[in-house]
Structure 1
Amino acid sequence: MDKWLWAARFFKTRAMAAKACDLGRIKSHGTEAKPARDVKAGDMLQIKTEGGDYEVEVLGLSEMRGPAAVAHTLYRETDASKDAREKAAAERKAMQEFMPLPERRPSKRDRRRIIQFRGGR
């Protein structure tokens, strides 16, 4: 499982893919998947990453990591998953419009107060 997730470019390293499996962020047919689980063509996977939540069907297998164009041929994302990710991205973009930008850079005094507030020094 971890090797396929790495080869399909959902994670940068196999260690990150294995950790995601251990944390329960990868599900195969609705059950949590272990890093050593075998992946077969036709499996439905639910993958939670920093980039969003994916629901994919496995189309092919690969033992090595290749270019992104080749990695994309290993799976097919469901339409519902694509719509949900696009909706979440639009919501994040809309929230940025409501957050006021600071009028200026923090001064040295402001910066020290920020560090102190965050628990530093």
Structure 2
Amino acid sequence: MSNESSAPGLRIDKWLWFARFFKSRSLATDAVTGGLVHVNGERVKASRNLHINDRLQITRGDSRMEVIVLSMPERRGPAPEAQRHYSETPESIAAREVRSQYARLSAPSPDGRPDKHERRALRDLRRG
């Protein structure tokens, strides 16, 4: 009998929802079954029990996070409470910062709202 099945834990889809990584449990389940969540480097099923000190790689859209499970929540609480149940690895924080700096440089923001002539030009550009 393995240590995983005997130790108390929480289903990974429930934990992801409790920790507020996904808005609903079904979205968390879809992410796990879709291969967007890995536990300790392995692709898992949504029914797998998660344990303290497990390392999760979570992909949501363009962002990717690596977190370590610190505790098992009992309910889905407010965000500050949910953040106490995990810690993001320093490598993940650094990688996210690099991606956000690159995104800021590659997509400059406009100085303000477009005026009437610029709106017409944009509209004509979109119509083709």
Please give the TM-score of this superposition, normalised by the length of structure 2: 0.78
Tell me how far apart the structure 2 counterparts of residues 79 and 42 of structure 1 sit (CA, whole Å).
15
Q: State the partner residue of 2:73.
A: 62
The alignment-based identity, stated in percent, is 39
The answer to whether 1:104 aligns with 2:115 is: no
Tell me how far apart the structure 2 counterparts of residues 63 and 22 of structure 1 sit (CA, whole Å).
23
Runs of 4+ in 1 over 3 A off after TM superposition: none
Unaligned runs of 5+ in 2: 1-11
Q: How many residues align?
A: 113
Shift of residue 11 of structure 1? 0.7
Shift of residue 50 of structure 1? 2.8
The answer to whether 1:113 aligns with 2:127 is: yes
Deviations 1:36-85 (A, max 9, x none): 11011010111111361111110001242101111001001100000000
Q: Which of 38, 59, 62 is 2:49 aligned to? A: 38
Tell me how far apart the structure 2 counterparts of residues 84 and 42 of structure 1 sit (CA, whole Å).
21
Does the 8 Å CA contact 1:4/1:63 hold for their aligned counterparts?
no
Deviations 1:12-49 (A, max 9, x none): 11111011011100000111121111011010111111
Q: Which amino acid aligns with 1:18?
A: T
Unaligned runs of 5+ in 1: 115-121
